[in-house]
Amino acid sequence: MKRITKVLIIAMSLLVLLVACKGKASEAEIKAFLVSKEGTFGWQATSDPILLDFLVDGRLVIQGPDGEATLWEGKWSVAGDKLTMERTDLGKTETAIVKIEGENLILGDKTYTRFAP
């Protein structure tokens, strides 16, 4: 009976670990998610008028609140679940943990949605 209990405890622990890990996107999934889909152009947060567009080649197009009149080009990369952005508009490099919730992109405390003109 003790052996069965130990096996059940180990099995339940493994199940909990699998469920917890399943919610995390892989590095490749994050990279693919960041790049715009057909009919969309980057990401925009409701709390921030800046639009971020992640290009496949690692360039980051940053569009100001006045549309294409203000554009900057930075760079981006992903390591694990961390996104590093060279934000030339801010004159600094930012790193944030990436979370994907449905079709939303969560970077730190900001929620982004795909921009579809």
Convert the pLDDT of each residue in 23-37 to its tens digit.
689 999 999 999 999
Q: What is the pLDDT of residues 35-89, one digit of tens each?
A: 999 999 999 998 889 999 999 999 999 999 887 788 999 999 999 999 999 999 9
Check whether 101 has a pLDDT greater than 60.
Answer: yes
Q: Of 95, 99, 71, 72, nearest to 84 (Cα)? A: 95
Residue 48, phi-psi category: left (phi > 0), alpha (psi -120 to 50), beta (remainder): beta
pTM of the model: 0.77
Kind and range of the H or E element at 21?
helix 2-22
Round to whole Å and give the CA distance between 114 and 72: 19
Round to whole Å and give the CA distance between 89 and 69: 13
